[in-house]
Amino acid sequence: MIKLPGLIDPHVHLRDPGGTHKEDWDSGTAAALAGGFTTVCAMPNTTPPIIDAAALEMSLTAAAQKARCDYGVYVGATLENVDSATTLAKRVVGKKMYLNGTFGTLKMEQLDAIVAHCASWPADKPLLAHAEQHTCGAAILAAHLAGRSIHICHVSRAEEISLIRTAKDKGIKVTCEVGPHHLFLCLDDVQRIGTGRAEVRPMLATASDRDALRANLEVVDCFATDHAPHLLSEKDSPAHPPGYPGLETALALYLDLVHAGIITIDDVIDKCYTQPRRIFNLPEQPNTWVEVDPDATWVVRGADMQTRAKWTPWEGTTLRGRVERVVLRGKVAYEGGHVLAQPGTGRLIS
Ligand code: DOR
Ligand code: ZN
Ligand code: ZN
């Protein structure tokens, strides 16, 4: 048995408010605990989106009633909230800019708006971007010119990790995360998973993009699941929204990289705890840890998961490494397949 700190997932979509048939603060934080995560940071592309005080209040009220692990929320950037988002800075983990189209309505492409959001947001608060290909370059430059740091979400391509490496080498303040699906899946897997189910943003890339991420893990500051639950009925419909649930398979996949000799267990702690705590200014959770059997094998079954999505792109796969017990602030929150922490016991971190 190995003992890890309470893991942090800085990038999840919990659909509360507005999409609670897919996930809510209760089911999403239950999935987090089952996966070994004691802190999650939730993205603002809910319905309504978290772009003003009223929507933030809705999200935080629901979270206070339902969350089973600790949590924070991001505010989303729009053309209209360049100044008003800043008034919410103390209550959120950071601000998220969506520079490419994805699930939900939050997309902001205009260069002047990106520049303005970089300038207006407090320099000591995290600024994040969904920024693929050209917009990755735009986001890094706009933040650099504003004299501030930026965090690039779910890097998926060789050209992006290469650009980030070069920017870091030049002393530019950029950090980045990679998701388990972009480390383990590529376009060659789409047919097996199914077209609708495989849909995700950023889309699965080529095998050489996937390999470039694996070869540049020292440039990757942290891991983040981008847990994006949608029901199978939605994934299998013509509209097939993008995203995979990821909280309950992530740690076993990270441990697979350890078993394969690609990273060490200390790297997992660094990328799932130390670096996310540093980048997102997260407080310590006293008396909090995760007990993991690194060699226990289990067969992935979406139907057995805590997430309301009840499916996974790893259905039927045998993974090695299982969360046995999670202790959050001195109390057993998860043990032997059961979530014991009650709704409302999670705390707001900001
Ligand atoms: O695949 C994705 N799903 N990528 C995103 O950027 C958003 C997410 C969602 O909210 O479903
Ligand atoms: Zn995204
Ligand atoms: Zn996301």
Does residue 345 fall inside a structural domain?
Answer: no
Does residue 220 fall inside a structural domain?
Answer: yes
**CA angle at 243 for the pair 105 and 310, rounded to the nearest 5°:** 120
Angle, nearest 10°, between helix axes 53-66 and 25-34? 60
CA of residue 104 to ligand 1 center, whole Å: 8
If one counts the domains in the chain, the total is 1
Does residue 348 fall inside a structural domain?
Answer: no
Pocket test for ligand 1, best of 199, 200, 240 (most atoms within 8 A of CB): 200
With 90 as the cut, is the pLDDT of residue 133 above it? yes
- Tens of pLDDT, residue by residue over 94-119, are 999 999 999 999 999 999 999 999 99
User: Cβ(110)–Cβ(79) under 8 Å?
Assistant: yes
Ligand 1 atom nearest the C-alpha of 241 is: 11
Q: Which ligand is nearest to the CA of 152?
A: 2
- Res 50: pLDDT: 98
Q: How confident is the model at residue 263 (pLDDT cuts 50, 70, 90)?
A: very high
Q: What is the pTM of this model?
A: 0.98
With 80 as the cut, is the pLDDT of residue 302 above it? yes
DSSP string, 1-31: -EEEEPEEEEEE---TTT-TTT--HHHHHHH
Please state the rounded mean pLDDT for residues 290-305. 98
Q: What are phi and psi of 286, to 5 degrees?
A: -65, 155
Does residue 152 fall inside a structural domain?
Answer: yes
Residue with CA closest to ligand 1 atom 7: 103
Residue 119 belongs to domain spanning: 2-339
Average pLDDT of the residues of the chain: 98
Does residue 349 fall inside a structural domain?
Answer: no
Written as six digits, the tokens of 78 are 């729009």
With 90 as the cut, is the pLDDT of residue 171 above it? yes
- Res 230: pLDDT: 98
Q: Residue 319: is it exposed, middle or buried by C-beta count within 10 angstroms (0-12/13-18/19+)?
A: middle
CA of residue 330 to ligand 1 center, whole Å: 34
Q: What percent of the chain has pLDDT over 70?
A: 100
- Tens of pLDDT, residue by residue over 10-33, are 999 999 999 999 999 999 999 999
Helical (H) or strand (E) element with 326: strand 318-328
CATH at 144: 3.20.20.140
User: Cβ(344)–Cβ(64) under 8 Å?
Assistant: yes
CA dist., res. 16 & res. 68, Å (int): 14
CA dist., res. 81 & res. 134, Å (int): 24
Pocket test for ligand 1, best of 45, 103, 152 (most atoms within 8 A of CB): 103
Q: Which residues line ligand 1 (CB under 6 A)?
A: 13, 45, 102-104, 130, 200-201, 228, 241-243
- Res 350: pLDDT: 74
CA dist., res. 72 & res. 214, Å (int): 29
Please state the rounded mean pLDDT for residues 52-81. 98
- Tens of pLDDT, residue by residue over 187-197, are 999 999 999 99
Please state the rounded mean pLDDT for residues 280-305. 98
Residue indicated by tokens 């397949």: 337
CA of residue 296 to ligand 1 center, whole Å: 31
- Res 137: pLDDT: 98
CA of residue 12 to ligand 3 center, whole Å: 6
Does residue 344 fall inside a structural domain?
Answer: no
